[in-house]
Structure 1
Amino acid sequence: MIMHAEHETDRPILAAITGERRTLLMDAGNSPAHAELFRRELKRRGVRLPEIMALTHWHWDHTFGMQAWGIPAAAHEETARALSLLRELDWSDGCLLSLISDGIISEESATDIRKEFGSGRDIRITEPDIRFRDRIEFDLGGVVCELVHVGGDHSADSCILHVREDRVLFLGDALGPSVYGGPRKYTSAAFLKLLSTAYGYNAHWIVESHGVPMSGEEFRRDLEGWGELAQVVERFGHDRERVIREMKDFLKSDQLPKDLLQGLDYFMAGLEPV
């Protein structure tokens, strides 16, 4: 069962995967309030409550609800390291400004944190109980979930969660651009590697944390232009006009859609300086 993303305060998708013996929670939510909303929905629908949690990466919107669950959490070792560095912060306005200045969070994230937690921010960082480096499996009883580290531009600790029997692939934010420490950007080679990894699972359903679940076929169609854009940038680098011409030829169109124009800016920002 999933709870869909809400964009007002950047709440990502949460998922509960249930087997015969236990339930796994994918990501904690961006606050105790977000976590409680999902818990109430699970109870209302008669879904067994989670006994273990898997984190896709350390970013606040996926982890700041951890304190509300009180269950063991599994995460990549870099996710654990990043969260440990946040434990002693007071999350005051001054603290948020310092985090923005240091490139640890963005102004957008700070704005969403203020909206989600209000002025009296009781934010308690919880560190994962189980840490792994490459991958870890969870046997829920007839259902096996595999949490795999894939990295990428969005966050170096990004992981994906594959539910084998259901052939569902949760991508977290792995395919997103970098959002902290500078302008939003994509590295074409890293993007193409992640896209190939996602395609390789041949999943029936693919879920990105701030998007709408798609069938595998819908996902491929939706990402076709982005994959081509990344390949063209790989070939022509900083030659923006050539990239645009090649993409227009590929799309058989006189202009690029707005999302691909924005994507082009991200890929250009990700190129090595000349």
Structure 2
Amino acid sequence: MTHHYQQISPHVFIMHAEHETDRPILAAIAGERRTLLMDAGNSPAHAELFRRELKRRGVRMPEILALTHWHWDHTFGMQVWNLPVVAHAETSRALTSLSGLDWSDGCLLDLIRQGTINEESAADIWKEFGGNRDIRIVEPDILFQGRISFDLGGVVCEMIHVGGDHSADSCILHVREDRVLFLGDALGPSVYGGPRKYTSAAFLQLLSVAYGYNAQWYVESHGVPMSGEEFRSDLAGWEKLARIVEAFGHDRERVVHEMKAFLQCDELPKDLLQGLDYFMAGRANMV
């Protein structure tokens, strides 16, 4: 497996996502006085790779860890870092509820049954950790509600709680001087506790928050960093789909018709058809 690292701006260094076991992007934001780590990695092995690379490149080691949300792939590497952890109060609550579990196969099955995780996550945890799962949940040290700022010396990071379908505790991280916006998984559909779904109004609201930063780089945790222009272009179809669902969501055929007219095509692309299913599921949930 090749591991791809990149410095995307003067203060921001990232390790790219890997999809075999759902490893998200990890980022180090290095100021003159402090380095902040965004997300912990999905396992000690994942975290260790990034730690070694930071050391190899002479990047100041992180002194504080900020979590975008509680999901396993962003938090199960925490024990490697041994740092003060900053998280939204809901992130802390979710992690506390997982502490003390033995992570055996029976435990994973129970978590699936409860809707805490899904079968895909359980399979990825299996692949990442193998049969002997020494997973230690670290409970966050510093909790916030709306937003929190970090002055790292020459660069300020702000974490903002945005919520959304993917996870109610989702936060984004804005690196002000570098104009980099880390979105975590905030723009993703819900993945636990039922069918995957999007609420069109919540999605549009989040998009408008993201666009409001007018960032130079937009970084989603399981994607590749995009320029502002690429990001808008990548999400244009989704934004239009969400707007059409807002207007005609009671009538799937009408939504499909309007989207085909907008895209000037005979068949909707596969990703947008899947997106339509998510949005319709989100609508059904509201009724």
Which TM-score band applies after superposition, normalised by the shorter structure?
Answer: over 0.9
Q: Aligned residues, how many?
A: 274
The residue aligned with 1:83 is 95
Q: State the TM-score, normalized to the length of structure 1.
A: 0.99
Q: Using the alignment, how far apart are the partners of 1:163 and 1:255 within structure 2?
A: 40
Matching residue of 2:237 = 225
CA distance in 2, matches of 1:52, 1:193: 30
For 1:239-271, what per-residue CA distance to the aligned partner results, in whole angstroms no more than 9, with x for missing partners?
A: 110000100111111111111001000001111
**1 CA distance for matches of 2:63 and 2:231?**
31
Say whether residues 1:147 and 2:125 are aligned partners. no
Secondary structure of 2:259 counterpart: helix
Once the 2 structures are TM-superposed, how far is the Cα of residue 104 of structure 1 from its aligned partner? 0.1
What is the 5 A alignment of 1:1-274? 1-272=13-284
Q: By how many angstroms is 1:77 displaced?
A: 0.1
Q: How many Å separate the matches in 1 of 2:138 and 2:281?
A: 34
Which letter maps to 2:167?
A: S
In the alignment, structure 2 segments of 5+ residues that lack a partner are: 1-12
1:201 Cα deviation after fit? 0.3
Cα deviations across residues 212-248 of structure 1 (Å, max 9, x unaligned)? Answer: 1000000000000000000100001121100001001
What TM-score do you get using the length of structure 2 for normalisation?
Answer: 0.95
Q: The residue matched to 2:98 in structure 1 has which SS?
A: coil
For 1:122 and 1:272, the matched residues in 2 are separated by 40
Moved more, 246-255 or 178-187: 246-255
Query: Could you tell me which amino acid in structure 1 is paired with residue 108 of structure 2?
Result: L
Give the SS at the match of 1:170. Answer: strand
Tell me the distance in 1 between the aligned counterparts of 2:280 and 2:157: 36
SS in 1 for 2:284: coil
What's the offset of the Cα at 1:88? 1.2
Partner Cα distance (1:267, 1:59) in 2? 22
User: Aligned partners of 1:235, 1:176: CA distance in 2, in Å?
Assistant: 21
Could you tell me which amino acid in structure 2 is paired with residue 25 of structure 1?
L
CA distance in 1, matches of 2:135, 2:233: 40
In the alignment, the residues of structure 1 paired with residue 249 and residue 243 of structure 2 have an alpha-carbon distance, to the nearest angstrom, of 10
Q: Distance in 1 between matches of 2:252 and 2:94?
A: 36
The letter for the 1-side match of 2:264 is K
Q: Which runs of 4+ in 1 moved over 4 A?
A: none
CA distance in 2, matches of 1:28, 1:57: 11
Question: Which runs of 5 or more residues in structure 1 are unaligned?
Answer: none
Report the 3-state secondary structure (helix = DSSP H, G, I; strand = E; otherwise coil) of the residue aligned with 1:271.
helix
| 1:159-210 superposed Cα distances (whole Å, 9 cap, x missing partner) | 0000000000000000000000011100000000000000000000000000
Structure 2 residue identity aligned to 1:160: I
* Deviation of 1:272 (Å): 3.3
State the percentage of identical aligned residues.
81
For the residues of structure 1 that align with 2:66 and 2:79, how far apart are their CA atoms? Answer: 14
